[in-house]
A and B are shown apart, each in its own frame.
Chain A
Amino acid sequence: MRPLDRNKPKTRMSNSTLLFIIAGIIFVLMYGIAIISFPVSFRQFQTFFDFFNLNAALFIVILGMCVVMIGGGIDISVGAVCGLVTMACAMLLQSGAGNIWGAFFLALGIGLAFGLMHGFLIAYLEIQPFIITLAGMFLAQGLLTTLHKEPLNVTNPAFVALRRYTIEIPWLGTVNRLGVFIPCEIKPSVIVVVVLIILYAAMMKWTRFGRNLYAVGGNRQSARMLGINVKQTIFLSYVLCGLTAGLSGFIFLLTTGAGNIGNGSLYEMRAIAANVMGGIMLNGGVGNLLGAPIGTLTLLTINELIRAAGVQSNLQAIISGLLLYVFIVLQSIIVSLRDRKQFKLALPSWLKLHRPQDEKIDH
Chain B
Amino acid sequence: MARLKKQFDRMSHLVLPLSVLVVLLIINLIKGADYFKITLINGVLYGNIPNILFGASELVILSIGMTLVTAAARGQDISIGESGAISSAIFVQYVLSAGEVTIWTILAGFLISCAAGIVIGAFNGTLVAFFNVQPMVATLILFLGGRSIAFIIDGKVSPILANPISNQIGTVIPGIPIQTPIILTAVFIALVVVVLKTTNLRLYVEAVGVNPSAARLNGINPRKIIFLTFLIMGVCSAVAGFIAVNKVGRHDSVNLLKFIMMDAILAVALGGNSLAGGKFSITGSIIGAYTIEVLNRTLLRLEVNPEAIKTFKAVFIIILMVIASPVVRASARKLIDKGKTFFTGYSPGQTGALNKAVVSMTDSSAKKEE
The one of B137, B269, B313 in contact with A131, judged by C-beta atoms closer than 8 angstroms, is B269
7 contacts between A and B (CB under 8 A): A121-B318, A121-B325, A126-B326, A131-B265, A131-B266, A131-B321, A329-B127
A43 to chain B, nearest CB (A): 29
Tell me whether A131 and B322 are in contact in the complex, defined as CB-CB below 8 angstroms, given that A269-B140, A332-B131 are known contacts.
no
Considering the complex, which residues of chain B in the window 139-176 have a beta carbon less than 8 Å from any beta carbon of chain A?
A: 140-149, 151-152
A127 lies within 8 A of B322 (CB): yes
Interface size class for chain A?
35 or more
The one of A135, A273, A314, A317 in contact with B318, judged by C-beta atoms closer than 8 angstroms, is A135
The one of A132, A141, A315 in contact with B321, judged by C-beta atoms closer than 8 angstroms, is A132
- Assembly CA distance A314 to B149 (angstroms): 8
A317 lies within 8 A of B148 (CB): yes
Considering the complex, which residues of chain A in the window 278-307 have a beta carbon less than 8 Å from any beta carbon of chain B?
A: 281-283
The one of A143, A276, A333 in contact with B311, judged by C-beta atoms closer than 8 angstroms, is A143
B277 to chain A, nearest CB (A): 11
Tell me whether A321 and B131 are in contact in the complex, defined as CB-CB below 8 angstroms, given that A130-B265, A146-B308 are known contacts.
no
Tell me whether A132 and B318 are in contact in the complex, defined as CB-CB below 8 angstroms, given that A142-B311, A314-B151 are known contacts.
yes
Tell me, yes or no, whether A164 is within 8 Å of chain B by CB.
no
Tell me, yes or no, whether B246 is within 8 Å of chain A by CB.
no
- A-B CB proximity, top 4 nearest: A321-B145, A142-B311, A142-B310, A139-B314
- Assembly CA distance A131 to B274 (angstroms): 11
The one of A135, A136, A149, A276 in contact with B137, judged by C-beta atoms closer than 8 angstroms, is A276
- Assembly CA distance A53 to B88 (angstroms): 41
Tell me whether A128 and B140 are in contact in the complex, defined as CB-CB below 8 angstroms, given that A121-B318, A314-B152, A317-B145 are known contacts.
no
A281 surroundings in chain B (CB, below 8 A)? 134
A121 lies within 8 A of B152 (CB): no
B137 lies within 8 A of A328 (CB): yes
A135 lies within 8 A of B314 (CB): yes
B147 surroundings in chain A (CB, below 8 A)? 317
B315 surroundings in chain A (CB, below 8 A)? 135, 139
B310 lies within 8 A of A138 (CB): yes
A318 surroundings in chain B (CB, below 8 A)? 145, 148-149, 152
Tell me whether A141 and B310 are in contact in the complex, defined as CB-CB below 8 angstroms, given that A121-B322, A131-B317, A134-B266 are known contacts.
yes
B314 lies within 8 A of A138 (CB): yes
Tell me, yes or no, whether A165 is within 8 Å of chain B by CB.
no
A336 lies within 8 A of B132 (CB): yes
Tell me, yes or no, whether A322 is within 8 Å of chain B by CB.
yes
Tell me, yes or no, whether B327 is within 8 Å of chain A by CB.
yes
Given contacts A269-B143, A328-B133, 8 further A-B contacts (CB under 8 A): A121-B322, A128-B269, A134-B266, A139-B318, A324-B140, A328-B131, A329-B133, A332-B133
The one of A135, A145, A329 in contact with B317, judged by C-beta atoms closer than 8 angstroms, is A135
- Assembly CA distance A317 to B143 (angstroms): 10
B265 lies within 8 A of A125 (CB): no
B191 surroundings in chain A (CB, below 8 A)? none
B144 lies within 8 A of A269 (CB): yes
- Assembly CA distance A131 to B317 (angstroms): 8
Main secondary structure of the interface of A (DSSP, over half): helix
Using a CB–CB cutoff of 8 Å, the interface residues on chain A facing chain B are 74, 117, 121, 124-128, 130-132, 134-139, 141-143, 145-146, 149, 269, 272-273, 276, 281-283, 314-318, 320-322, 324-325, 328-329, 332-333, 335-336
Main secondary structure of the interface of B (DSSP, over half): helix
- Assembly CA distance A143 to B311 (angstroms): 6
B321 surroundings in chain A (CB, below 8 A)? 121, 125, 127-128, 131-132, 135
Tell me whether A124 and B148 are in contact in the complex, defined as CB-CB below 8 angstroms, given that A142-B313, A272-B137, A329-B127 are known contacts.
no
A146 surroundings in chain B (CB, below 8 A)? 305, 307-308, 311
A74 to chain B, nearest CB (A): 8
- Assembly CA distance A318 to B144 (angstroms): 8
Centre residue among B127, B134, B140, B265 by max chain A CB count within 10 A: B140
A124 surroundings in chain B (CB, below 8 A)? 327
Residue of B nearest to A316 (CB): B148
Tell me, yes or no, whether B76 is within 8 Å of chain A by CB.
yes
- Assembly CA distance A128 to B76 (angstroms): 12
B127 lies within 8 A of A321 (CB): no
A328 lies within 8 A of B138 (CB): yes
Centre residue among B143, B311, B326 by max chain A CB count within 10 A: B311
Tell me, yes or no, whether B214 is within 8 Å of chain A by CB.
no
Tell me, yes or no, whether B190 is within 8 Å of chain A by CB.
no
A283 to chain B, nearest CB (A): 6
B326 surroundings in chain A (CB, below 8 A)? 126
B325 lies within 8 A of A315 (CB): no
A134 lies within 8 A of B312 (CB): no
Tell me, yes or no, whether B276 is within 8 Å of chain A by CB.
yes
A139 lies within 8 A of B149 (CB): no
Tell me, yes or no, whether B27 is within 8 Å of chain A by CB.
no
B201 surroundings in chain A (CB, below 8 A)? none
B148 lies within 8 A of A134 (CB): no
The one of A125, A127, A130, A320 in contact with B144, judged by C-beta atoms closer than 8 angstroms, is A320
B327 to chain A, nearest CB (A): 5
- Assembly CA distance A136 to B315 (angstroms): 9
B18 to chain A, nearest CB (A): 19
B254 to chain A, nearest CB (A): 11
A142 to chain B, nearest CB (A): 3
Tell me whether A333 and B317 are in contact in the complex, defined as CB-CB below 8 angstroms, given that A126-B326, A321-B144 are known contacts.
no
B276 lies within 8 A of A315 (CB): no
B151 surroundings in chain A (CB, below 8 A)? 314
- Assembly CA distance A117 to B322 (angstroms): 12
A316 surroundings in chain B (CB, below 8 A)? 148
Tell me, yes or no, whether B309 is within 8 Å of chain A by CB.
yes
A130 lies within 8 A of B76 (CB): yes
A276 surroundings in chain B (CB, below 8 A)? 137, 140
B111 surroundings in chain A (CB, below 8 A)? none
The one of B143, B317, B328 in contact with A138, judged by C-beta atoms closer than 8 angstroms, is B317
Tell me, yes or no, whether B115 is within 8 Å of chain A by CB.
no
B269 lies within 8 A of A315 (CB): no
Tell me, yes or no, whether B101 is within 8 Å of chain A by CB.
no
B141 lies within 8 A of A272 (CB): no
A231 to chain B, nearest CB (A): 10
A282 lies within 8 A of B137 (CB): yes
Residue of A nearest to B312 (CB): A142
1/0 contact trace for B121-135 toward A, CB 8 Å? 000000100011110
A329 surroundings in chain B (CB, below 8 A)? 127, 131, 133
A128 lies within 8 A of B275 (CB): yes
The one of B140, B145, B265 in contact with A272, judged by C-beta atoms closer than 8 angstroms, is B140
